[in-house]
Amino acid sequence: MILDKIIGYCDRIDGNLARYQNSFEAFQRDLLFQDACSMCIVQIGELVGQLSDEVKAQNPAVPWRTIKDTRNFYVHAYGSVDIPSVWETLQQDIPALKASCEKILNP
């Protein structure tokens, strides 16, 4: 299911963060760390685009459109991505998205 795949990418991000001890300094200097996390965000956005309108409508608290728009920005303007903003997404938005998806799957 699509929500399971989204959760899987959230877990991959969490694993990347753990590998680098959740260090913003490491994220700033390590392009591989940045690329790995950014690619997961892109994949999450792709998956959100595959969700049914019904799932999105039944869960309006999740910012589905923003997630998809973020994916589009990362893909089309990657050189302009603001590292602190990505870090904020990793720290706040990804855990919230994972929790929302888990709640949808297990109400």
Tell me: the pLDDT tens digits for 42-74? 999 999 999 999 999 999 999 999 999 989 888
- Residues 7-28 as b/e (b if ≥16 CB within 10 A, e otherwise) read bbbbebbbebbeebeeeeeebe
Q: Supply the pLDDT for residue 41.
A: 96
Average pLDDT over residues 2-8: 98
pLDDT at 40 over 70: yes
With CA atoms as reference, report the closest residue to 10 among 103, 107, 89, 97.
97
Q: Supply the pLDDT for residue 81.
A: 80
**Positive/negative CA dihedral, 69, 48, 90, 93:** positive
Write down the domain spans for the chain. 2-105
Q: Could you tell me if 28 and 83 are in contact, meaning their C-beta atoms sit under 8 angstroms apart?
A: yes
**Which residues carry out catalysis?**
71, 76
Q: Supply the pLDDT for residue 78.
A: 62
